[in-house]
Amino acid sequence: MNSIIEESRLISLTNEEIARYSRHLLLLEVGIEGQKRLKAAKVLLVGTGGLGAPLALYLAASGVGTIGIVDFDFVEESNLQRQVIHSTRDVGRPKVASAQERIKGINPKCNVITYNTMLNSGNALDIIKEYDIVADGTDNYQTRYLVNDACVLLGKPNVYGSVFQFEGQVSVFFAKEGPCYRCLYPEPPPPGLVPSCAEGGVVGVLPGIIGCIQANEVIKLITGFREEDGASLIGRLLLFDAWKMKFRELVLDKESACPICGANPTIHELIDYEQFCGLKKSDEAEPIETISATELKSRLDAGVPVQIIDIREPHERAIAKFPNAKSIPLGQMTRRIDEFDPAIDSVFICKIGQRSVFAIHALREAGYKGRLLNLKDGVNGWAREVDRLLPVY
């Protein structure tokens, strides 16, 4: 595959740049022309977290001329275990500001454009159209589908990565040359079925490994490669298990029935991705009652009877023990329904108040008639609002 960077955009390298990138120039597959293409390239990074960190660091070090970074989040202490572009002194800063500073420290010649905003259907096309390649480092389905659809509509390659616990995935979705993300995943999973890294955890080195593979794919798209060598991840999904230290590969086919890149596409503009991923509340669905940490504390202080159910697994409860809670892991919920007293309110707790919603749904579907409440923000909310001695994790 030829480089996606047009010849007319190439400019010469300075003597300083030749010295800086000399190890690239010695590679037949890169050389002077490839380094010029890197200098001319514009790459957009969606997210500056675990995947965006190595992407930004290595693309800047490799000589990519313009790097755009989209993120609306702030650096938190829990990020530092894997998001190596940020440091302890950056806690509380916008991630784009921290990332920009680090990128410029590595390569002052790199033009860094920051977007301290959430990528959405209203701004995605305007932002992405300015770039040659998009590297998706997000951790939620609605943004993955958004990035995919915007890239297909604009004809841009989407270098995709995802991580969870010890497992990672990488591919290049480029509708001009092969399948897109919707060809692999036509529909998102039900909301909450797949825990986020914040709930399920991730080993710190995994995003570094996957992010570096993404960076490698970006560099290959920019410098060009021979398709007959099978060098690209276009049409291939690379799977990595860090615990077992094994790689697997799946061949991906372009789906003729794909609604956006197939033979007869039905999607011609960006849609409401929160609705598509089932994240908007249905008017018909029975709402889940919530209770704040301070409200629960008031009830307990007043001696009001309440059943507190901790749905976390034993290894997670060992991190932060919730006082006077009964342990019933989520997977055991319905078969232990007889342990609940319908005459007493039940409050369900997890780490951040998301998984516990599924416990409430499961009991409702099983026919439980008692009142069920979800502790807002979970154990972390209790630690922040009530018991400051309890760790936030």
Q: Which residues are catalytic?
A: 197, 350
CB-CB neighbours of 256 under 10 Å? 10
Rounded to whole angstroms, how far apart are CA atoms 199 and 165? 10
CB-CB neighbours of 44 under 10 Å? 25
167 conformational bin, left if phi > 0, alpha if psi -120 to 50, beta if neither: beta
Rounded to whole angstroms, how far apart are CA atoms 132 and 159? 11
| Residues 64, 92, 81, 194, CA torsion sign | negative
In the chain the first and final C-alpha atoms are separated, in Å, by 45
Return the closest-CA partner of residue 5 out of 325, 244, 224.
224
- DSSP β-bridge partners for residue 309: 326, 348
Q: Is 157 helix (H, G, I), strand (E, B) or coil?
A: coil
H or E element, residue 97 = helix 95-106
Backbone angles phi, psi at 384, to 5 degrees: -80, -35
Q: Is 182 helix (H, G, I), strand (E, B) or coil?
A: helix
Q: DSSP string spanning 324-339?
A: T-EE--GGGTGGGGGG
Rounded to whole angstroms, how far apart are CA atoms 44 and 46? 6
Rounded to whole angstroms, how far apart are CA atoms 208 and 211? 5
Q: DSSP string spanning 206-226?
A: HHHHHHHHHHHHHHHHHH---
Rounded to whole angstroms, how far apart are CA atoms 316 and 325? 14
Rounded to whole angstroms, how far apart are CA atoms 123 and 6? 26
